[in-house]
Amino acid sequence: MGIIKASKLIYDYIKRDEDGNPDGTRRAVDQVDIDIEAGSFVAILGHNGSGKSTLAKHMNALLLPTEGTIWVSGKDTSLDENLWDVRRTAGMVFQNPDNQIIGTVVEEDVGFGPENIGVPTPEIWKRVEQSLEAVGMTMYRHHSPNKLSGGQKQRVAIAGVMAMRPRCIVLDEPTAMLDPNGRKEVIRTIRELNRAEQITVILITHYMEEVIEADHVYVMDDGRIVMEGTPHEVFARTEELKSYRLDVPQVTELSWQLKKAGLPLSDGILTIDAFVDEIMTLYKKP
Amino acid sequence: MAIECKNISYIYGNGSPQEIRALNHVTLTIPDGQFIGLIGHTGSGKSTLIQHLNGLLKATEGDILYNGESIYAETFSMKSLRSKVGLVFQYPEHQLFETDVFTDVCFGPKNLGLDDEPIRRRAREALDLVGLDASYDDVSPFELSGGQKRRVAIAGVLAMKPEVLILDEPTAGLDPRGRDEILDQVAKLHREQGMTVVLVSHSMEDVARYVDRIIVMNHGNAALDGASKEVFRHYRELEEIGLAAPQVTYIIHALKEQGFPIADDITTIKEAREAILRAMGDKT
Amino acid sequence: MIRDITIGQYYQTDSLLHRLDPRTKLVGTLVFIVSLFIAGNWLCYALAAVWLAGMIRLSRVPLSFIVRGLKAVMILLLISVGFNLFLTNGETVLVRFWIFRITLEGLRQAFFMALRLIFLIMGSSLMTLTTTPNQLTDGLETGLGFLKKIRVPIHEIAMMMSIALRFIPILIEETDKIMKAQMARGADFETGNLIERAKALVPILVPLFISAFRRATDLAMAMEARCYHGGEARTRMKPLVYETRDRMTYLAFAAYLAAMIALNRIF
């Protein structure tokens, strides 16, 4: 069993009428089975409203399954006694950088998590220093979060999670509100954490460029996992991705269109280099 | 008929020790009927610039002419300027406040002091333009999806019947399909109503696909200004100021370097596809 | 104008005052305020001025920054000066017109009142300028920890204060943004009678409340995800420990208070 495993996971939101009485349900996550290997970089793709954020919130026990089970590091999240272990194992970073920073000074925010789980003071300082270093924000430790760029704020949020020494970080659309440079900054940071510290990364996003280097990709639509595989395997099915309101990087799109027009290119080309190689081989062929 | 910025500068916190020069002697003209992309990294002055175009910010120096008339003249009506130059802010759905979609869209025309009948007509037209039919009229805007909310907010500006529409990153946070829907609708407004459009965007791919002209802001200056092909030809300069060209441009340059016969001013997938197929066909 | 309020803002630098324990600063501020109410003659005010100047110097906060905070309370200041000026009875009448008269005593009183208020505001802004909101709430929480025994949720109150302080600048910026967005839709906040103006606020207040609630929900979730569960079993990254400098400061403030009382008695 991987670090996060879900079996037949179902989550129903309860709709309420104007007086707050329950009035039917809406299924946000529907019969999801996932198994995420420790140390891997996994991406969950899906359009807005596909259920990907709802699924993410189960990994931190912020939401509990209506039916089915999810285990984090072997612990069933629905059991009360596992709650704090689950939250320490799987840290969570959210979309809006402003709404997840509690401290008024960067280092105090990073220390917030360790304070909550009762880490002794000298150890908190050590962890804060290491976490800020890991995300490259040490020089901003005394700054107010309000003065930072979006990308920097997200890195502080990641440091805040790292300071709790999780084995896994779940990032729920961490780049949706950032500009391209901030986006790159955040993706670089989490890739680095994945490589250098063997932290399992679960990245929820709808930006296709961000998943190219993932080990495994899940695509969600209407609460279900509809596609899964390596980025290469998933992007090879360009037409299917489009039917789920998603997109492919321009290079993949271009090769797919050329292929449709009759050029014998391979499926799921993800990089410019691979594309240029194939075109040149074709071009030089007599 | 145009908006002309004449040597405008804007300083935040003028006179205080923390003053920031957000615009630095910008001169440019936005003629009727153009579809302009305004790009630049965060803090380059693009948001400050667009707030000058409808008079929300007043230039510290310089003058802005709307159809030849200075907007800072005492006789000039700011209210009419704001109806002629519609500005859609980033995350515009955050400004919705009424209990139903239709009433919210009526807010703009109501502020113009119109009668009930034209207000309702305009609101209906604006909602049609963004593709929301009458079945949405009585729905609370807060029950809609993110993309729909955003369209309601854009309709709220369109109901003022602007001649110029400025959108500050209208696709931020939307998924790929939601993004295409909004941009296609904006392109349609430009094409069918002849509306002048200024699109502020971080996505070079979107800019390349839709606009005729690009203005690149950097350090409060219009660093580059020209036809989009012309601007993306300078992709190395764009990189120096923290921007980039669409991925297609990089593909084309990589191909060209390998000796593939292709024009280097290609910026969209459609052009690239045609050029590559042509070159492959010519080979034999 | 709302940006001019320096009370509650933090000025980032490193100084002796910044390093002091927040409890020391809270008590010091309190002593200073008390001393202002003791002060009854010129010498006392001179002492307070010198003391305040010394503190400002030690804090390394630019004077202009502290003075700016006074702008926001100017009206309050003028009203109280006015009251003292016109309503103090005295023997030496300087000016007389209609039902008003200004006496030498009134002038003196008004002047002292103005000084007292100015010093009070400068002194308390100095505390907030040199203490991060977090330290301040920590100071309050620890300093008032005894209230927990009588079931006052002091940790929760302190946490609420610190979150409020963090979100005030964000909400101010947001208000500005929403105002501009509605102005772009032709909204007018500047003309009309009182009722019309109050009505014009609805398009600002509704989105602002919605946004504040959204932020609150998000923040609550983020805090929960980081294992927040109230003040129980929580450790501190920056526990409050009195250092030598704090003891010295207490002594200095005690000496200052004694000097103030003495000056007031003797002259």
Residue of B82, B96, B97 with shortest CB distance to C184: B82
Structural tokens at position B35: 């579809």
Cβ distance of A88 and C165 shorter than 8 Å:
no
Residue C38: Cβ within 10 Å count: 14
Q: Which of B176, B244, B258 sits opposite A276 (nearest CB)?
A: B258
At A154 the pLDDT is 97
Residue C222 CB burial class (10 angstroms; 0-12, 13-18, ≥19)? buried
Task: Identify the CATH number of the domain in which residue A24 sits.
Answer: 3.40.50.300
Q: Which of A34-38, B196-200, C74-78 has the lowest mean pLDDT?
A: C74-78
Average pLDDT over every residue of B48-75? 93
Residue of B282 and B108 predicted with greater confidence: B108
More confident residue, C151 or B152: B152
Count: domains in chain A: 1
Record: contact B79-C188, CB cut-off 8 A: yes
Residue of B nearest to C214 (CA): B94
Would you say residue C4 has pLDDT above 80? Answer: no
Helix H or strand E encompassing C97 = strand C93-97
ipTM of the complex in this document? 0.90
pLDDT tens, residue by residue, B226-270: 999 899 988 889 998 889 899 999 999 999 999 999 998 899 999
| Rounded Cα distance, A265 and B273, in Å | 13
Which residue of B96, B142, B157 is in closest CB contact with C184?
A: B157
CB contact under 8 A, C132 and A105: yes
Question: Is B260 in Cβ contact with A279 (below 8 Å)?
Answer: yes
The H or E element containing residue B32 is none
Arithmetic mean of pLDDT, C202-209: 93
Cross-chain residue pair A124–C237, CB shorter than 8 Å: yes
Contact state of B108 with C185 under an 8 Å Cβ cutoff: yes
Please state the domain extents for chain B. 2-228
State the Cα–Cα distance between residues C12 and C4, nearest whole angstrom: 17
In a domain, A157, yes or no: yes
Question: Measured between alpha carbons, how far is residue C60 from residues A254, B248, C19, C57, C64 in Å?
Answer: 60, 54, 12, 6, 11
Tokens representing A53? 């954020």
Q: Domain containing A179: what range?
A: 4-248
Name the region of A165 (left: φ>0; alpha: ψ -120 to 50; beta: rest): left
Most C CBs within 10 Å, among A57, A100, A101, A202, to test the C interface? A100
Does residue A167 belong to any structural domain of this protein?
yes
Mutate one of C185, C206, C213 to test the B interface: name it (highest B CB count within 10 A).
C185
CA angle C165, C167, C171 (to 5 degrees): 125
- Which residue, among B71, B34, B64, has the nearest Cα to B49 in the 3D structure? B64
Regarding predicted confidence, which is higher, B16 or B141?
A: B141
| Residue whose entry in the numeric block shows the structure tokens 């989009």 | B228
Return the axis-axis angle of helices C22-38 and C244-266, rounded to nearest 10°: 0
Evaluate whether B251 touches B51 at the Cβ level (below 8 Å): no
| Least CB–CB distance from C226: residue in A113, A118, A128 | A113
Worst-scoring range by mean pLDDT, B21-30, C141-150, C178-187, C249-258?
C141-150
Express each pLDDT in B173-194 by its tens digit.
898 888 999 999 999 999 999 9
Provide the pLDDT for residue C1. 38
Residue A253 located in a structural domain? no
Q: How confident is the model at residue C113 (pLDDT cuts 50, 70, 90)?
A: confident
Of 3.30.56.10, 3.90.170.10, 3.20.20.30, 3.40.50.300, which CATH number belongs to B2-228? Answer: 3.40.50.300
The answer to whether A272 contacts B174, with C-beta atoms less than 8 Å apart, is: no
Tens of each residue's pLDDT in chain A, 286 residues: 889 999 999 999 988 777 777 878 889 999 999 999 999 999 999 998 899 999 999 999 999 999 999 999 999 999 999 999 999 999 999 999 999 999 888 999 999 999 999 999 999 999 999 999 999 999 999 988 988 999 999 999 999 999 999 999 999 999 999 988 999 999 999 999 999 999 999 999 988 889 998 999 999 999 999 999 999 999 999 999 999 999 899 999 999 999 999 999 999 899 999 999 999 999 988 7
Decide if C193 touches B, using CB distance below 8 A: no
pLDDT digits (tens, 9 = 90+) for C222-250: 999 999 988 778 888 888 888 999 999 99
What span, in angstroms and rounded, lies between the C-alpha atoms of B280 and A279?
A: 9
Q: Which residues contact A160 (CB under 8 A, 6 or more apart)?
A: A100, A101, A109, A110, A112, A113, A131, C226
Coil, strand or helix at A225:
strand
Asked if A48 lies within 8 A of B178 by C-beta distance, the reply is yes
How much is the pTM?
A: 0.85
Task: Report, as an integer, the average pLDDT of C92-118.
Answer: 81
Residue A59, number of CB atoms within 10 A of its CB: 28
Contacts of A202 in chain C (CB under 8 A): none
pLDDT attached to residue C2: 46
